[in-house]
Amino acid sequence: MNQRRTSALSALLVVVLVLLWRAFFPTAAPNGGGGGGGTGGGSQSGVCGDKFAFGQPSATGEGDNARFLCRQGYATLHDPDLKVPLYVAEHLKEGDANGAVPRNDDFEPDPDLSSGERAELTDYRGSGFDRGHMAPAADFSDDATEMQQSFYLSNMVPQNGVMNQGIWAGLESAVRSCAKRVGDLYVITGPLFDGPRRTIGESRVAVPSGLYKIVIDRQDNKARAFVMPNRALRNTSDFSKYEADVAGIERETGLDFAPNGELPSDRDLCRDAFGG
């Protein structure tokens, strides 16, 4: 009888200790690693919330199985069927991209994703497509960890090389110039899929028909969006010809980019950088 009573008291003590531990040390995902799963959550306790101007974008339809991943410099919603991100979000500040850390080109499969739900290096070899950054490495040249994480393939899509190294690189540079001017920008980048689906590699990594980039100046309540087809494009510094409507991108992607607000359209945002 005494032995049973002692066992019961010991079990009760363990339960009490567990409850006290949870009360004083709640569990939270680390800022540099994988966040929770699903499309509407993944950031239940505000993990990576600093990457979004108006809340974490939510997805419906094709992104139902997507997984939210929180990195040190960006956040992404990765689709395990398409093997690409549905969006990648950054909070770009004036002091970022100061060139203190050289580009390392150390591409690697995402360590937080299992084989079968991610792109592999072999998928891109001989494919005819670049590993196109959604959050560009040059945005993180002030921090070695951010730079390294930007080379995860979960931050990439198969991109036309002429486009990637030409006009798209120019748009990325214009975003950085805009950030230096206004001091604080939120950026959302991702793929568009229209028409018959094309894939590369044994993992069947989906090739986008186009790419979008949304630039948000929260302080002055301005935003501009751009959409470019994923093909060889003539290089230009006037990106206004690719100006797009955020609502149209939302309809095509099934994403709500501002669940806690509204994205205003204003072509005056960094006109000197983007044109128009």
Closest CA to 123 of 151, 86, 84, 87: 84
Residue 242 has pLDDT above 50, yes or no: yes
List, in order of start, the domains of the chain with CATH numbers.
31-274 (3.40.570.10)
What average pLDDT does range 179-200 have in this prediction? Answer: 95
Question: Tokens 């979000």 sit at which residue?
Answer: 89
8 A C-beta contact, residue 244 and residue 35: no
Q: Please name the residue ranges forming H helices in 25-141.
A: 121-124
Q: Which two tokens stand for residue 221?
A: 């309540």
Task: Give the active site residues.
Answer: 133
Residue 20: which residues within 8 A CB-CB, separation 6 or more? Answer: none
The mean-pLDDT minimum among 22-36, 192-206, 257-271 falls in 22-36
DSSP run (H or E) holding 88? strand 84-93
Question: Which tens digit of pLDDT belongs to each residue from 5-18?
Answer: 544 455 444 444 43
Query: 29 in helix, strand or coil?
Result: coil
The mean-pLDDT minimum among 11-20, 47-56, 149-158, 222-231 falls in 11-20
Closest CA to 189 of 212, 218, 158: 212
> What is the spatial distance between Cα 38 and Cα 43, in angstroms, rounded to a whole number?
10
Q: How is 41-66 classified by DSSP, letter by letter? A: TS-TT-TTGGG-SSS--EE-GGGTT-
Bridge partner list, 157? 132
Position with higher pLDDT, 130 vs 105: 130
8 A C-beta contact, residue 90 and residue 73: yes
> What is the spatial distance between Cα 175 and Cα 92, in angstroms, rounded to a whole number?
9
| Residue numbers belonging to the annotated binding site for Mg(2+) | 164
- Give percent above pLDDT 90 in the chain: 66
What average pLDDT does range 118-131 have in this prediction? Answer: 98
Question: Which tens digit of pLDDT belongs to each residue from 17-56?
Answer: 434 444 433 333 333 445 444 443 333 335 799 999 999 9
pLDDT at residue 73, as a whole number: 93
| Residue numbers belonging to the annotated binding site | 164
Query: 157 in helix, strand or coil?
Result: strand
Question: Which tens digit of pLDDT belongs to each residue from 71-87?
Answer: 999 999 999 999 999 99
pLDDT at residue 46, as a whole number: 53
What average pLDDT does range 112-126 have in this prediction? Answer: 97
pLDDT, mean over the chain: 84
- Give percent above pLDDT 70 in the chain: 81
What average pLDDT does range 237-262 have in this prediction? Answer: 92
pLDDT at residue 38, as a whole number: 41
Residue 250 has pLDDT above 50, yes or no: yes
Q: Which two tokens stand for residue 200?
A: 């590369």
pLDDT category of residue 261 using cuts at 50, 70 and 90: confident
Handedness of CA 180, 182, 186, 189 (dihedral sign): negative
User: What end-to-end distance do the CA atoms of the chain give, in Å?
Assistant: 85
Degrees, nearest 5: CA angle 252-253-257 = 115
DSSP 8-state symbol, 208: P
